[in-house]
Amino acid sequence: MIEIEKKFLLKSDDIARLTEGATFIKEITMLDIYYDDATYSLTTKDRWLRERDGKFELKEPAKLEKWSERLADQYHEIEDEAAIAAALKISGGGSLRSALKAAGYEPFATIKTVRRKYKNGEFGIDIDTIDFGYDICEIELMIPEESQMVSAVKRIVAFAEARGLRSGPVRGKVLEYLHRFNPKHLEILQTIGMAG
């Protein structure tokens, strides 16, 4: 199965409409620390290395596409530390943390999120409240094969618009963090077409 997800920006009165008739699943708090090197060799390739609540994860695009050409986000996640070291081509002899440091990877963003998860029929809804004052949601659908991607995106947009959300480009939490706190890094990603 392939997960198709789309982000939407939330205003304060959107949440009630979005969650009406949905089943609340759970609330979690996540602390994410994102890593890159001095030349941004990961994020410029749309690779996102983070430590979520102390556990490393590497998100890589299913295929490298310019941001403007994307229909929806589609990433693979690698969670095994040895596999992350291999994907980054760094020596995994000691701990991943020490191998990252030796290879010049340093934290560039620390983001705390409260996520409320809901389900409405086949749609998953994640509502994220981020510590620096930013609210977004992700609406998700699982599809069996890529040929259904266009129709899945259309169904997600129709679901969101029926609840008063506006579709259009949305900066995810990391890009919003860069916009606010490290615009130079965001500008580099925008220049090469990796961010809107």
Closest CA to 58 of 50, 66, 68, 70: 50
Give the residue from 82, 49, 40, 50 showing the smallest Cα distance to 188. Answer: 40
Instruction: Say if residues 78 and 84 touch (Cβ distance below 8 Å).
Output: yes
Q: Of residues 6, 163, 173, 185, which one binds ligand V4E by CB under 6 A?
A: 173
- Residue 75 in contact with ligand V4E, rule: CB under 6 A: yes
- Nearest CA to 165 out of 52, 9, 2 is that of 9
Give the shortest CB-174-to-ligand V4E separation in angstroms.
3
Could you say which residues in the range 1-40 bind ligand V4E, by CB under 6 A? none
Is residue 194 at the binding interface for ligand V4E, with CB under 6 A as the rule? Answer: yes
Instruction: Decide: is 84 part of the binding site for ligand V4E (CB under 6 A).
Output: no
Minimum distance of ligand V4E from residue 93's CB (angstroms):
27
Instruction: Specify the stretch interacting with ligand V4E by CB under 6 A; choose among 16-24, 78-86, 89-97, 173-181.
Output: 173-181
For residue 8, give the nearest of 134, 168, 144 by alpha carbon. 168
Smallest gap from residue 47 Cβ to ligand V4E (A): 9
Contacts with ligand V4E in 130-159 (CB under 6 A)?
138
| Residue that has been written with the tokens 């997600």 in this structure | 156
C-beta of 64 vs 102, nearer to ligand V4E = 64
Residue 68, burial from CB neighbour count under 10 angstroms (0-12, 13-18, 19+)? exposed
CB 125 within 8 A of CB 139: yes
| Residues binding ligand V4E (CB under 6 A) | 48, 59, 67, 73, 75, 138, 170-175, 194-196
